[in-house]
Structure 1
Amino acid sequence: MTTQLVWLITGCSSGFGQEFVSQILARGDLVIATSRNVNKIRHLEQPGVSLQQLDVTDSQESLNETISKAISIHGRVDVLVNNAGYIVVGSWEDLRYEDFLAQFETNVFGVIKVTRAVLPHLRKHQSSTLVFISSRSGWYGDPFCGAYAGSKFALEGIVESLRWEVEPFGIRTLLIDPGRFRTPFLFSGGNLTRAESRVADYRQAYQRFLDAIAREDGNQPGDVRKGVGVIVDLVRKEGLAKDKEVPFRVPLGTDCYETIEEECEKTLSTLRHWESVIKATDY
């Protein structure tokens, strides 16, 4: 693929979003980089990069206007990367309803609203790509990560459904499941919100969990540069994706591979050992 693409990316202030900008420019493409606070991405501004304020928790009407402005910059958008997100941790009993709601507002409903705003343009364009950044947590719910894992499990389902709806219009859909990558997603980047432990029964286990992620913060096994490089290859169908059929769902990272493999094997084992019970419920 040699055509110059226009990419619209949410959540560009750090991590994957920031790396996307660098690598997309290196491929000769154009980027519309967005963030809730545009001042946090001023350092990304250069030829080929346009900046746009975008908060995925805004209303659908507001986001429609924001996306229209973004599209007007180059007259089109070829690739949408839904990258913005954060994580809230805590036990079910310690997390408030509002904490669950806020997690879904950004990680699920924000993705829905941004994508809905872009879809009418992409349907007319007839050749475009939607990229959704999910997570290993869309396959496995770690303790004290119920709100985050729930949002990613939800994302997996709605994106898989969307895939079949938009495929007839020439729109490709990529669902990316990164494992633990070395981004400022945890304590160091302010993208983690933690509930205070008010229930004594959970306190010791919760503190061990917080200590573990604090130790890993900045030491995650995944290389962001390599991960983003794979995604850009998949979108542009070059490099490792040249002359290959690109799958819909792509895990990234050894830890994610191992988790998904284990989950699939456990599911197959359940089906094999409980087949008679499972099928016995039919008329």
Structure 2
Amino acid sequence: MAPLVWLITGCSSGFGAQFVHSALARGDKVIATGRNAATKLAHLDGTGAAVVDLDVTLPEEEIKTIVDNAAKIYGRIDVLVNNAGHGFFGASEETSNEDYRELFDVVVFGALSVTRAVLPYMRAQQSGTIAFAGSMYAWWAPGMLTTYGAAKGALKAIADGLAAEVRPFNIRTIDFEPGYFQTGLTDGAKLAQYASAAPPLDAYAGYRAAMHAMAAAHVGSERGDARKGVELMVDVVRGEGPASGRAVPVRLPIGEDAVRVVEATCRNMLKVVEAWRGDVVGMTDRGEFVSDEGMAPIVTVPDVVL
């Protein structure tokens, strides 16, 4: 396989930094990006990665200009990893709309802006992979993680729709949905950095304290090894190792805890559907309805090719 050119956002730490090292180790070329790159990406000096300053919350036209210049470095972009993001912890009622906007600006709108800037290059070369750093909490968001789960849930939906739209150009999309990995995402200092500016409500004090204690106890003992997780994701993108000869799915949980969350969510939803099927199906049709055959492309979920 010829070396792939990767553009990776959010490379200051965690999965983003590991993606850089893992892709380079395969002999690929990497354009590593992040805010304040001169300082926050200094740890990548000497790795062989091209480093570009990119804040995904910039206006879309500015992002397009930065990506256009980045594309000139190697003449193409084969893989985009939309990894930029951060954690968020707080009860729904005490989380402001501004908190949602701030997180969505990075995780969702930032990913969309970079994706739109990269797609013309992939369409022109008739190949490419768009990867999103999703989360198991796109499937089920427990208390205090509603905002984070909502942002990752948006990525899940975007990956679904985008996959159908870009498939004719031989472009793939995949939403990787990791569980807990040792990336520092739940580190108390980082969570405090992005805490809501809204005053906490006494009503949730006990629940908040319990969840904070659980998160604090969890730091450093996460099940997932970030290097192993990223190596698997790189395998999937490159079609190597366990991904050799297999089609790339639109969504893929990464880690045993992520698989548990996805399986349990699907089982619960199927139980609800079976319990309510006769009411939510048979009782809601119009009397004049004949067939929805003409709507098949948008009401029939395509089978997964494994």
The structure 1 residue matched to 2:256, chosen from 245, 254, 257, is 254
Contact 2:5/2:28 (CA < 8 Å) preserved in 1? yes
Gaps of 5+ in 1: none
Q: Which residue pairs with 1:104 in the alignment?
A: 104
TM-score by length of 2: 0.89
Deviation at 1:246, TM superposition (A): 2.4
Q: Which residue pairs with 1:10 in the alignment?
A: 9
Question: 1:1-283 alignment to 2 at 5 Å?
Answer: 2-38=1-37, 39-46=39-46, 48-187=48-187, 190=190, 193-195=194-196, 198-279=200-281, 280-283=283-286
Deviation at 1:122, TM superposition (A): 1.0
How many aligned residue pairs are there? 282
Deviation at 1:120, TM superposition (A): 1.0
Aligned residue for 2:94, secondary structure, equals: coil
Deviation at 1:47, TM superposition (A): 5.5
Contact 2:156/2:251 (CA < 8 Å) preserved in 1? no
Greater gyration radius? 2
Deviation at 1:245, TM superposition (A): 2.1
Give, in whole Å, the separation in 2 of the partners of 1:210 and 1:108: 26
Give, in whole Å, the separation in 2 of the partners of 1:57 and 1:246: 29
Deviation at 1:188, TM superposition (A): 5.5
Q: Which residue pairs with 2:292 in the alignment?
A: none
Contact 1:10/1:35 (CA < 8 Å) preserved in 2? yes
Counterpart amino acid of residue 76 in structure 1: R
Q: Choose 94-103 or 259-268, whichever is displaced more.
A: 94-103
TM-score by length of 1: 0.96
Give, in whole Å, the separation in 1 of the partners of 2:126 and 2:189: 38
Deviation at 1:191, TM superposition (A): 5.6
Q: Deviations over 1:195-242 (max 9, x none)?
A: 365311111101111111111112111111111011111111111111
CA RMSD of aligned residues (A): 1.4
Deviation at 1:36, TM superposition (A): 0.6
Q: Cα gap change, 1:180/1:197 in structure 2, threshold over 3 Å: closer, same or farther? A: farther
Gaps of 5+ in 2: 287-306
Deviation at 1:190, TM superposition (A): 2.2
Contact 2:159/2:250 (CA < 8 Å) preserved in 1? no
Q: Which runs of 4+ in 1 moved over 4 A?
A: none
